[in-house]
């Protein structure tokens, strides 16, 4: 056997021709030896070279195929959630499922819940508890006595809880309406991360906004030296001289003294927040001005202390430092009942705070800490991923994976290239090389490698971040450079303490030495607030995250950061200005009594018939900065005059300083030009007027060279509008951003020539099949053509002229063709006869050849049919590109290929104002004559001459305040809307790819809806916060409409401490301004006749009463004329057209709508938006659109595949069939 096989190999000759071995003689085959021995030897050597070359080539090709990697892309249509999750487990890195809907509000798939500290749902903020603690004449106790501020502290606590609850509601509302942008389906953990980021950002922004507002309220009260009716920050005393019927009053800030380690510390309320432990002290009822202004607890007996509570300059400051230690202890609550008799009825029903309830706060937590976190205990967010998946509604998912060629693929490739390889090894063929797109992948590249790649492939390089939510603070540093005044000595105790010593002199009201302390305190308050606002917002900004699934290029990152910072700065400026403007408006309208000579004074007269003192408020009358006249602060907005220094009958104007009706207005209207180094103004004041105190400390002037964007003549208002920031310095580290992003993979694609092995495989695949196919078809076609031509020539030569019918011709041709095909098919062979061996005669070989050919054709037909069916029904994902699409072309693509169209925008972020236009229309009252200063001032021309003869409840006193409030509310509401819209439209719309018009409109509609709903909320929250805190601080108004002063002792030649009592409004029920600020009564003129004013009310404060009023009077000409006739103004100048009643049919408001309801909607009548998809498309400007679809194999693909397999299949079947048939025939012959 071995010898036989060895002999076969030695004699193996694949190049032997048929005539070399056999001849046919008389029908019998006979082996001959015609072959030249030398030729035979050469053929055998060629065979060995051929076989060795073929084996090596096949080995190389097979190994290269086995070792090569293939990228397989799979598409799943309409995947279910279960299918997606299974794919996610296996192919998370490459799985991509485009969402049918790119934007969706969080409320569709999350449930957010927030719980508050138990104090905000306890009995201690109930109406019953607060009323039980209320003592009408609480001001007769001292500031550190708990009876003075107990009711007010819990009123403030109730307000803080309500504000926190409202802001939490805003957080949930905004979170629910926030749009999640997800062009591709996100994993559940990614949804959780983005939801957490969004909720934290909204919560942080809301918390900072509330806390900033509360700080400004506190600073404004402190700097304006506004008096609390509880005598906690300022105490007033009236002195009566023995020989005169005249009285004077004095006021003093309370000084808080405490001793520790043998050192006594003194704190004064107009400079600092002062606190001492609250208790019940024995000196409370003593009519001693000194005891009430110098608070030294150690010098007095205390019957009980209230654990956790303190006394302070105002109830707000006291409750901020309070702790709830007493509220956990029923014994402590019962002790309080000894000093508040009405508590005894509540004790059985009061539920103390439950110490066993789990809390993230300790029992010693202060209220200030709770406010900083909105009293939040728990924040729970649950995600319903099923709902998110349904909202995303992916129509298809694609994933890819790379694998080495498997054995089946290698065999297929082997069959495809075999015949071509065996042919190409015999002949030299030219090599035509095609191009192909190649992807190059880098796993976890370093920054150095990334930079190298970016320099070469900047337009094609893509890197996926492993950390998709880096914090801004991790790679950005922002440093504000403040105006030099905010770091100078002018806002520090070293300067303020010197100014404090100047106030004891007898100076005129506008003297700089009188006003300077409040001026610089206000300046210090503004600097502190601006500093806090900037620091808090920057801290929030640093914790905010930028969501980047892919590494942003450095230029794009810097552009987005610049836009984000501009929006952040603008938002800070708007927020700072909004709160400050509302504070100033309320101060102007309500005329809170400042413990100075800014806006009012006390007028004290002795009533001999009643042997008591009559104390009333008088408005201050500074000059008018616009006219050379005096004016009332309550009536005119332009009241004010330059500050002066009067000394030795000389009057020197202090450059830049202006005295107005409040310290805050004074500082905002002034400039700092006197404080700079380029003038000797400050040096003159220091040496001439401060040095005489003997405690003067040199204070360096401001360095004018440090100014960048402002000048020495800039008003403080201008500085405040810029948050006292001269320059914003920012540094961005792209390296840090890259390291935090930590790209897990980077790749780029490029077009290159195919590599050598790929070309060989592809060429051989097609060449062999095409060669064999053409070798069979071409001879038949040529033979048929020649046959037809030969017949035609024969006919012409024989001169056949007879006419034959077409049917006869066709029948003749058919018979000939049938006979020819039958003969051809009978004699048709595909194999060389020598392939059956040398030991078989020629006739047998011919028979074997014919049988083998028929078997081969049957097997080949079956195999080819299977291949055709498989190839024809094979589906694949095809991707088509559309370059520079038009708007119509892109829309048609998006309509036809829903969910698969990708049109990358050339601008990833576009300002909203480039394709969104918003217009608003406001209530007609805001454009009427009733909000104009001219109409109001015309009514009040001679009011000052009448004011002394009118009752305190006459509407003439409040009309100006109401009209000022109406004008101010309209102005601030419109400004707030315009500022917010300007800020909103300047934000950037992030659009990495072109949105369909439906998705675009839906996304913009949600954004606009959220903005429209959110704008009134911000304004209303600030207004509500200021009013509620001011009520809790028990601030008095110069109108005398909420509190009045009462003298304790009226003996001749003695002084008496003044205390206060709340005003009570008698109506359907007695309402005390000490318990609520919304006590109301009908507005009416009381002289010379009694006339009510329709829709308008008066009450504790002008602002509160006007908010509860309606605008009915301004629709009624008779009501307007009642106002005009009772005022002393110019009749011809007070003519006014009433509001149009017919417009009510087209208005969202009714005639009897309250002003408060108008304010809550910012007086907006109509909100119209114009969204241009055309302009959006033009700004997006996609250069290319691609879309994918599933298609069956096209005819060209089928043909190229079959040609690839044809040659190899032919060779394999030829070899197999020849040997099989030969074996079968041999067995049959042997049997015979």
* Predicted confidence (pLDDT) per residue in 1142-1156, tens digit: 988 889 999 999 999
Which pLDDT does position 522 carry in this prediction? 82
Mean pLDDT of the chain: 81
Q: How far apart are the first and last CA of the chain?
A: 25
More confident residue, 14 or 228: 228
Nearest CA-CA partner of 213 in 614, 630, 515, 536:
536
Nearest CA-CA partner of 943 in 927, 961, 969:
961
- The count of other CB atoms within 10 Å of the CB of residue 1099 is 26
List, in sequence order, every beta strand (DSSP E) within 117-227: 179-181
More confident residue, 604 or 146: 146
User: DSSP letter string over 277-301?
Assistant: EEEEETTTT---HHHHHEE-GGGS-
pLDDT in tens, 288-299: 888 888 888 887
Which pLDDT does position 220 carry in this prediction? 83
pLDDT confidence band for 609 (50 / 70 / 90): low
Which pLDDT does position 596 carry in this prediction? 60
pLDDT in tens, 362-403: 999 999 999 999 999 999 999 999 999 998 888 888 888 876
pLDDT confidence band for 448 (50 / 70 / 90): very high
pLDDT over 70 at 1102, yes or no: yes
Which pLDDT does position 3 carry in this prediction? 76
User: DSSP letter string over 1038-1070?
Assistant: TT-SSEEEEES---TT-EEEEEEEE-EE-SSS-
pLDDT confidence band for 146 (50 / 70 / 90): very high
- The count of other CB atoms within 10 Å of the CB of residue 16 is 20
Can you tell me which residue has the tokens 């909420």? Answer: 1042
- The answer to whether the CB of 965 falls within 8 A of the CB of 584 is no
- The answer to whether the CB of 950 falls within 8 A of the CB of 1085 is no
Q: What is the mean pLDDT of residues 307-330?
A: 95
Cα–Cα distance, 1095 to 1082 (Å, whole number): 8
pLDDT over 60 at 1134, yes or no: yes
Which pLDDT does position 15 carry in this prediction? 65
pLDDT in tens, 499-520: 877 655 556 667 788 778 878 8
pLDDT in tens, 452-469: 999 988 878 888 888 777
pLDDT in tens, 548-587: 767 888 888 888 888 788 888 888 888 888 888 999 899 9
Can you tell me which residue has the tokens 């106002």? Answer: 1123
- The count of other CB atoms within 10 Å of the CB of residue 309 is 25
pLDDT over 50 at 475, yes or no: yes
pLDDT over 80 at 29, yes or no: no
Q: What DSSP designation does 1183 have?
A: S
Q: How many CA atoms lie within 13 A of 830 on its CB side?
A: 21
- Which runs of consecutive H residues, i.e. helices, occur in 798-876? 806-827, 842-873
Cα–Cα distance, 621 to 639 (Å, whole number): 8
pLDDT over 80 at 323, yes or no: yes
pLDDT confidence band for 1030 (50 / 70 / 90): very high
Which pLDDT does position 362 carry in this prediction? 93
pLDDT in tens, 415-425: 555 555 555 54
Which pLDDT does position 1053 carry in this prediction? 57
pLDDT confidence band for 232 (50 / 70 / 90): very high
More confident residue, 572 or 719: 719
Q: What is the mean pLDDT of residues 1181-1190?
A: 80
More confident residue, 709 or 1129: 709
pLDDT confidence band for 690 (50 / 70 / 90): low
pLDDT in tens, 1191-1231: 665 565 556 565 555 555 555 555 444 454 444 444 444 44
**Burial class (CB within 10 angstroms; exposed 0-12, middle 13-18, buried 19+) of 1121:** middle
Q: Is the peptide bond before 756 cis (omega within 30 degrees of 0)?
A: no
Q: Angle 81-91/385-392 helices, nearest 10 degrees?
A: 100
pLDDT over 80 at 779, yes or no: no
Cα–Cα distance, 1080 to 1068 (Å, whole number): 10
Cα–Cα distance, 832 to 840 (Å, whole number): 13
Which pLDDT does position 862 carry in this prediction? 80
Which pLDDT does position 796 carry in this prediction? 56
Lowest mean pLDDT among 418-422, 531-535, 1115-1119: 418-422
């Amino acid at each position: 056997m071995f010898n036989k096989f060895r002999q076969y190999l030695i004699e193996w000759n694949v190049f032997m021709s048929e005539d070399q071995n056999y001849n046919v003689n008389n029908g019998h085959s006979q082996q001959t030896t015609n072959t030249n021995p030398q030729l035979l030897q050469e053929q055998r050597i060629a065979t060995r070279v051929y076989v060795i070359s073929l084996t090596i080539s096949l080995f190389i090709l097979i190994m290269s195929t086995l070792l090569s990697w293939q990228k397989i892309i799979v598409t799943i249509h309409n995947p279910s959630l279960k299918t997606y999750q299974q794919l996610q487990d296996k192919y998370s890195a490459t799985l991509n499922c485009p969402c049918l809907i790119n934007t969706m509000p969080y409320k569709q798939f999350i449930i957010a819940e927030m719980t508050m500290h138990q104090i905000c749902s306890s009995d201690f903020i109930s109406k019953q508890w607060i009323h039980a603690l209320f003592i009408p004449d609480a001001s007769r106790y001292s500031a550190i006595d708990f009876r003075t501020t107990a009711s007010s502290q819990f009123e403030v606590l109730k307000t803080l809880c309500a504000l926190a609850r409202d802001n939490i509601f805003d957080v949930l509302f905004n979170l629910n309406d926030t749009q999640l942008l997800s062009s591709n389906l996100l994993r559940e953990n990614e949804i959780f991360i983005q939801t957490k980021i969004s909720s934290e950002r909204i919560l942080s922004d809301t918390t900072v906004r509330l806390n900033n507002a509360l700080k400004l309220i506190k600073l404004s009260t402190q700097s304006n030296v506004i008096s609390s009716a509880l005598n906690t920050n300022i105490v007033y005393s009236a002195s009566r001289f023995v020989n005169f019927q005249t009285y004077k009053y004095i006021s003093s800030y309370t000084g808080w003294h405490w001793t520790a380690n043998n050192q006594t510390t003194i704190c004064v309320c107009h400079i600092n927040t002062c606190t001492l432990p609250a208790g019940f002290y024995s000196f409370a009822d003593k009519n001693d001005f000194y005891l009430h202004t110098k608070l030294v607890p150690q010098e007095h007996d205390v019957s009980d202390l209230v654990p956790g509570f303190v006394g302070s300059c105002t109830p707000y400051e006291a409750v901020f430092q309070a702790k709830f230690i007493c509220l956990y202890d029923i014994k402590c609550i019962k002790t309080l009942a000894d000093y508040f008799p009405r508590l005894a009825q509540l004790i059985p029903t009061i539920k103390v705070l439950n110490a066993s309830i789990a809390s993230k706060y300790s029992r010693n937590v202060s209220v200030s800490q709770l406010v900083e976190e909105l009293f939040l205990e728990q924040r729970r967010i649950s995600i319903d991923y099923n709902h998110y998946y349904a909202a995303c509604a992916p129509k298809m998912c694609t994933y890819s994976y790379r694998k080495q060629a498997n054995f089946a693929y290698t065999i297929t490739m082997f069959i495809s290239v075999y015949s071509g390889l065996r042919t190409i090894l015999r002949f030299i063929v030219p090599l035509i090389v095609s191009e192909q797109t190649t992807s190059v992948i880098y796993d976890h590249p370093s920054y150095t490698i990334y930079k190298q790649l970016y320099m070469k492939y900047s337009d094609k390089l893509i890197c996926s971040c492993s950390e998709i939510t880096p914090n801004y603070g991790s790679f950005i540093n922002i440093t504000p450079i403040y105006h030099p005044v905010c770091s100078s000595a002018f806002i520090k105790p070293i300067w303020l303490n010197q100014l404090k010593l100047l106030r004891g002199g007898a100076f005129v009201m506008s003297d700089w030495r009188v006003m300077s302390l409040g001026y610089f305190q206000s300046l210090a308050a503004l600097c502190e607030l601006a500093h806090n606002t900037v620091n808090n917002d920057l801290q929030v900004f640093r914790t905010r995250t930028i969501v980047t699934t892919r590494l942003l290029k450095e230029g794009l990152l810097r552009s987005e950061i610049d836009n984000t910072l501009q929006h952040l700065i603008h938002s800070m400026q708007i927020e700072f200005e909004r709160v400050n403007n509302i504070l100033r408006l309320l101060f102007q309208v309500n005329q809170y009594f400042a413990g100075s000579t800014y806006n009012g004074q006390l007028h004290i007269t002795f009533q001999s018939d009643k042997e008591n003192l009559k104390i009333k408020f008088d408005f201050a009358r500074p000059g008018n900065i616009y006219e050379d006249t005096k004016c009332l602060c309550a009536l005119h907005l332009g009241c004010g005059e330059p500050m002066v220094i009067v000394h030795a009958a000389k009057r020197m104007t202090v450059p830049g300083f202006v005295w107005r009706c409040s310290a805050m207005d004074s500082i905002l209207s002034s400039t700092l030009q006197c404080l700079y180094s380029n003038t000797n103004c400050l040096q003159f004041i220091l040496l001439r007027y401060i040095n005489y105190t003997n405690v003067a400390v040199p204070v360096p002037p401001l360095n004018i060279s440090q100014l960048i964007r402002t000048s020495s003549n800039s008003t403080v208002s201008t500085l405040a509008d810029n948050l006292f920031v001269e320059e914003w310095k920012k540094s961005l580290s792209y390296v840090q951003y890259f390291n935090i992003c930590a790209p897990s993979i980077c790749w780029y694609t490029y077009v290159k020539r195919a590599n050598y092995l790929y070309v060989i495989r592809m060429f051989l695949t097609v060449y062999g099949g095409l060669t064999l196919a053409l070798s069979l078809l071409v001879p038949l076609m040529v033979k048929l053509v020649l046959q037809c031509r030969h017949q035609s020539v024969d006919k012409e030569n024989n001169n056949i002229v007879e006419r034959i019918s077409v049917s006869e011709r066709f029948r003749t041709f058919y018979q000939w063709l049938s006979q020819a095909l039958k003969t051809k098919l009978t004699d048709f062979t595909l194999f060389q006869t020598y392939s059956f061996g040398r030991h078989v005669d020629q006739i047998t070989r011919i028979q074997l050849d014919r049988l083998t050919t028929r078997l081969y054709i049957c097997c080949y037909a079956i195999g080819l049919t299977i291949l055709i069916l498989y190839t024809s029904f094979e589906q694949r994902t095809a991707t088509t590109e559309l370059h520079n699409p038009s708007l119509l072309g892109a829309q048609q693509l998006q309509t036809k290929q829903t969910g698969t169209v990708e049109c990358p925008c050339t601008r990833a972020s576009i300002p909203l104002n480039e394709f969104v236009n918003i217009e608003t229309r406001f209530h007609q009252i805001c454009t009427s004559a009733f909000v104009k200063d001219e109409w109001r001032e015309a009514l009040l021309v001679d009011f000052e001459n009448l004011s002394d003869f009118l009752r305190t409840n006459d509407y003439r006193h409040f009309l100006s305040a109401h009209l000022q409030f109406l004008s101010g509310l309209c102005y601030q509401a419109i400004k707030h809307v315009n500022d917010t819209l300007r800020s909103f439209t300047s934000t950037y719309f992030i659009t990495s790819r072109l949105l369909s018009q439906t998705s675009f409109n839906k996304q913009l509609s949600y954004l606009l809806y959220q903005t429209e709903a959110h704008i009134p909320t911000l304004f209303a929250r600030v207004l509500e916060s200021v009013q509620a805190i001011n009520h809790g601080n028990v601030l008095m108004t110069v109108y005398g409409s909420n509190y009045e002063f009462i003298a304790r002792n009226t003996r001749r030649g003695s002084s008496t401490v003044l205390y206060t009592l709340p005003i009570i409004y008698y109506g359907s029920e007695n309402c005390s301004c000490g318990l609520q600020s919304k006590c109301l009564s009908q507005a009416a003129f009381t002289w010379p006749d009694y006339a009510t004013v329709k829709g308008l009310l008066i009450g504790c404060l002008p602002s509160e009463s006007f908010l509860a009023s309606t605008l009915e009077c301004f629709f009624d000409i008779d009501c307007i004329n009642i106002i005009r006739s009772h005022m002393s103004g110019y009749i011809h100048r007070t003519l006014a057209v009433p509001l149009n009643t017919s417009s009510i049919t087209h208005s969202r408001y009714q005639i009897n709508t309250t002003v408060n309801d108008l304010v809550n909607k910012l007086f907006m009548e109509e909100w119209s938006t114009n969204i241009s998809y055309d302009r959006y498309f033009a700004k997006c400007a996609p250069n290319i659109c691609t879309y994918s679809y599933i298609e069956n194999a096209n005819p060209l693909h089928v043909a190229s595949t079959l040609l690839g397999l044809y040659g190899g299949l032919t060779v394999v079947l030829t070899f197999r069939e020849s040997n099989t048939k030969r074996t079968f025939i041999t067995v049959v012959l042997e049997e015979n």
